[in-house]
Chain A
Amino acid sequence: MNTYRGLEEYLRIGFVQSVVDCEYAWCKPRPTINMKKWVKIKAWQDIKKDFAI
């Protein structure tokens, strides 16, 4: 421990490198867009709009 700021020796970072799936992210795979899929996602977004931040 450092007395100056009480810093720790190390910061442990955990990576969760998930494979983003376009089922709920609009933009993958970029730049090709499957409009059918987009319609499905848009509908889902509308339903969930109330939950959005």
Chain B
Amino acid sequence: MGEDKGLARYKKGFCNLSGDREKPHIVVLPELTVSNCYIKHLKELSKVINSVVIAGLDFQVNAGNKVSNKAVVVIPNNWTNTQRSTRTSCIYFGKTHFSNEELELFKKLNTHYKPKDKYSHLPDHVNYIIDAGPFGNIGVAICSDFFDIERFVIYKGKIHHMIVISNNMDTNSYYFLAEAIARLVFCNVVICNTGYYGDSIAFSPYREPFKRIIYRHQGQQLFSSQVVSLPVVSLDEAQRNPTSPPSDNGKSIFKSAPPGYIRHI
């Protein structure tokens, strides 16, 4: 029953999104949301709505009880076209730095079950940049990897959007970090946190303070679905010409690029 209930929840969210006049190009679901056996359902939903889906998967136990925390990116074959998609392809990315709570969990399991091969984390040391064609480049991270400063050194100058999926209770820290990263990496930042803790965010480095928070959904134990628009072409122009950024009525649209910012795309 539990599985059906979970699946019904995603379907409800996808139904809400597909009902909108302007369907989303990318749908994001939080970390640890989708059971591994439901990836096939996720592919079907992706085909129906014709959107890329980025979703956190349940923990996966590999050989030697090495546990990985991964997310899937489902890409329908007719993405951005008006034609209906008939198949999908998937890529996976994983968490590099596990949180203390996760490591504590593995310790407790080892103490309780005393398995032959102790449970331990299996980090994924690869940083991905997704080339989304007309929508720019996207950096991705799972939860505590958002605190990995080296990741942003790599991403600086190479991405337009940073998408983070999380299962995080320290919501305020993530909000402040979203603002910091949006300024330092000079990109849009999207955080999709679990509804259990709430506070999903979409942040863009606009000059006007009221424009910067594009979306923020606070409050715990709430299910929600929402479509938001992130700037692409204007931000790209600002990234390419940091000294003469795009302006509106003589005022720069975005905040200044960080010192020493160089575009590498």
Partner of A11, one of B5, B17, B225, B230: B230
- Judge whether B32 and A18 touch: CB under 8 Å: no
Write out the residue numbers on chain B whose beta carbons fall within 8 Å of the beta carbon of A17: 13, 30, 192-195, 198, 200, 217, 222-226
Q: Distance (Å) between the CB of A32 and the closest chain B CB? A: 10
Q: Distance (Å) between the CB of A45 and the closest chain B CB? A: 6
Assembled-state Cα–Cα distance A10/B9 (Å): 27
Q: Is B27 an interface residue (CB 8 A)?
A: yes
Q: Distance (Å) between the CB of A20 and the closest chain B CB? A: 4
Assembled-state Cα–Cα distance A18/B161 (Å): 22
Assembled-state Cα–Cα distance A26/B28 (Å): 21
Q: Is A43 an interface residue (CB 8 A)?
A: no
- Judge whether B112 and A35 touch: CB under 8 Å: yes
Partner of B134, one of A8, A38, A49: A8
Q: Is B236 an interface residue (CB 8 A)?
A: yes
Q: How large is the interface on B (under 10, 10 to 19, 20 to 34, 35 or more residues)?
A: 35 or more
Q: Mark B162-186, 1 if CB is under 8 A from A, else 0.
A: 0100010100000000000000000
Q: Is B108 an interface residue (CB 8 A)?
A: yes
Q: With A7-B134, A11-B229, A18-B9 given, is the CB distance from A48 to B36 under 8 Å?
A: yes
Q: With A19-B223, A27-B105 given, is the CB distance from A10 to B134 under 8 Å?
A: no
- Judge whether A11 and B25 touch: CB under 8 Å: yes
The secondary-structure label for the interface of chain B is mixed
Q: With A20-B167, A53-B92 given, is the CB distance from A48 to B198 under 8 Å?
A: no
The secondary-structure label for the interface of chain A is loop
- Judge whether B101 and A25 touch: CB under 8 Å: no
- Judge whether A52 and B36 touch: CB under 8 Å: yes
Q: Is B123 an interface residue (CB 8 A)?
A: no
Q: With A2-B237, A18-B33, A19-B221 given, is the CB distance from A8 to B14 under 8 Å?
A: no
- Judge whether A14 and B28 touch: CB under 8 Å: yes
Q: With A7-B236, A11-B229, A15-B225 given, is the CB distance from A25 to B32 under 8 Å?
A: yes
- Judge whether B10 and A18 touch: CB under 8 Å: yes
Q: Which residue of A lies closest to B201 (CB)?
A: A15
Write out the residue numbers on chain B whose beta carbons fall within 8 Å of the beta carbon of A31: 101, 104-105
- Judge whether A24 and B102 touch: CB under 8 Å: no
- Judge whether B222 and A53 touch: CB under 8 Å: no
Identify the 3 closest CB pairs spanning chains A and B, nearest first: A14-B24, A16-B13, A23-B2
Residues of A at the B interface (CB closer than 8 Å) are 1-2, 4-21, 23-31, 33, 35, 38, 45, 48-49, 51-53
Excluding A15-B202, A18-B33, A49-B61, 7 further A-B contacts by CB distance (< 8 Å) are: A16-B13, A18-B10, A20-B194, A21-B5, A26-B59, A28-B194, A29-B196
